[in-house]
Amino acid sequence: MGIVGGGASAVCLLDALSRHEDVPGSVTVFDPSPHLWRGRAYQPDSAVLRVNAPPEDMTVHAADPDHFTRWLQTRAVLLDPHKDHVDARAGIAFPPRAVYGDYLEQCARGALSRLAARGCRIRLVREAVTDLAREGGLLVARTADDQASCTLDQVVLCVGTGPPADPYGLTGVPRFIADPYPVVWRLAGIGARDRVVVLGSGLTAVDVVLSLTAAGHTGNVVMASRRGVLPGVRQQPIEHELRFFTAARFRAQSARGERLALEDAVALMRTELTAAGSSLGTVLREIGPDGGEHPLARLRRQLGMVDDPDPGLRILQRAVPDTGPDVWPLLREPDRERLLRDHYRTIMSLCCPMPPSSAAALLEQADGGRLSMVRGVESIRPTASGGFEVHGAEGVLRADVVVNAVSPPAHRVPPAAAPLIDSLTGRGLAVRHPRGGVGVARATSGLRTPAGTDRQIYALGDLASGSLFFTFGVPSLVDRAVDIADAIRREAVRGPVGTADSMQSV
């Protein structure tokens, strides 16, 4: 089999494949990155950049939620027992993302060793796959300029995410930083007193502000975006097992061929929250219209809720990644469109929150007059003097530097993977999803095609974002990786795939 891409999603898949006795006969990994197994998010970079989830949500081993915690403990004993990276307010360890990259590398090596010990042949091809074709029931992967080709029986696309979008067409303009990562050298040319506009208000924008602060920047920084939705603030953890809003319930409903009204899904969430001593109102106050609340005021309020005994938001944070992928296919299309249009960004901000220490650092900068936020950005124009003018609902801002921290393009196909996806769609081996990426089947993550669901090609990660509601975050990657590994094993039992039976009907 082949794995196209060698980032975090590939590590989760390798781990899932290696945990069974019946392993593939061979595994070929294609990836040209200089930092194999780390992906874009976890490459070597500033220690200021922290993971945003607790250790139990960062393990790559599905059956062992304490795997990453033990790894951190062992690392501390061996390297630095005084650095536990625990956030004082939340009581949760948030290690640097580069440290998590070390963990991914070690997990990949462990998985490859287990596979090799069971007779699996391992091959690393340090090139990108640009073409994939089906020939005689097998798949032929080719790299750029046809420098390497490989015949495979199964392929999993783990191509990761692309760089930020450029909604204002500023790429190539001097002093516009199109991609802030790695911050240690992309932001190094910013002067200590430069006026900086950071485009976006998500986790990447938070990374940029914290990195500038740590580097000694004292000039004004403005976080500018269209909506101004900051990530939520991570609360102290609680123990809660979903009882009503469960994946098993919705999977059974899917097996019966039933649909789900959004109102019924909300009613089940109300039951879940009520049984836990919370209420639906707690959640709706956060995901509904903001009522004019300023982003920094919302941030300050949420920082004060870190030790709130009400479990409502924490239950939502567990339910969206754990159960959301099973709810989403059951909803009617108008309900999906309404959720995406009205609530997606806010729900994601709550379900992908920042550590309290990050929120406190932002507020300290704001209280010191060094950080502000503006919403309603309409355009950004370079000026003749070399700076920028940011036009929006709140007037015109001037900046010396603009740092791009917006989300990747909505179509969710990284530019580097575009030739490969074009080859698949051109041959009828994939279909573009109207909401982004390519279409996949919920149960297996097999690619949707005009003829059905492919039994040989799968997608893991943001490439499946159109079909699935939640495709990022390690727990989601781990769950989907287990589904794919199980599907691959089932296909191995069925025997070789012929051209005529490479699809299953839908």
Looking at the structure, tell me whether residues 274 and 346 fall in a common domain.
Answer: yes
Range of 398's domain? 176-231+355-404
Looking at the structure, tell me whether residues 341 and 395 fall in a common domain.
Answer: no
User: Is residue 92 included in any domain, yes or no?
Assistant: no
Which of 181, 174, 234 is CA-nearest to residue 211? 181
pTM: 0.91
Which of 9, 66, 5 is CA-nearest to residue 473? 9
Looking at the structure, tell me whether residues 11 and 139 fall in a common domain.
Answer: yes
User: Is residue 308 included in any domain, yes or no?
Assistant: yes
Range with top average pLDDT, 98-107, 137-146, 274-283: 98-107
User: Is residue 71 included in any domain, yes or no?
Assistant: no
Q: Is the pLDDT of residue 505 over 50?
A: no
* Structure confidence at residue 493 (pLDDT): 81
Q: Is the pLDDT of residue 83 over 50?
A: yes
User: Is residue 139 included in any domain, yes or no?
Assistant: yes
Looking at the structure, tell me whether residues 298 and 196 fall in a common domain.
Answer: no
Q: Do the Cβ atoms of 29 and 6 come closer than 8 Å?
A: yes
Half-sphere exposure of 476 (CA within 13 A, CB side): 26
Distance CA 148, CA 32 (A): 13
Looking at the structure, tell me whether residues 259 and 379 fall in a common domain.
Answer: no
Q: Is the pLDDT of residue 145 over 90?
A: no
Looking at the structure, tell me whether residues 6 and 109 fall in a common domain.
Answer: yes
Looking at the structure, tell me whether residues 211 and 310 fall in a common domain.
Answer: no
User: Is residue 209 included in any domain, yes or no?
Assistant: yes
The domain spanning residue 439 has which CATH number?
3.50.50.60
* Structure confidence at residue 339 (pLDDT): 87
How many domains does the chain divide into? 3
Looking at the structure, tell me whether residues 305 and 321 fall in a common domain.
Answer: yes
Quick: pLDDT tens for 349-403: 888 899 999 999 999 999 999 999 998 899 999 999 889 999 988 889 999 999 9
Instruction: List phi, psi (to 5°) of 93.
Output: -80, 125
User: Is residue 322 included in any domain, yes or no?
Assistant: yes
Distance CA 348, CA 363 (A): 21
Tell me which of 286 and 214 has the higher pLDDT. Answer: 214
Q: Do the Cβ atoms of 219 and 428 come closer than 8 Å?
A: no
Quick: pLDDT tens for 320-346: 888 888 888 899 989 988 888 888 888
**Encoded tokens for 378:** 């309409």
Q: Is the pLDDT of residue 316 over 80?
A: yes
Q: Do the Cβ atoms of 122 and 112 come closer than 8 Å?
A: yes
Q: Do the Cβ atoms of 330 and 251 come closer than 8 Å?
A: no
User: Is residue 30 included in any domain, yes or no?
Assistant: yes
Quick: pLDDT tens for 165-181: 899 999 999 999 999 99
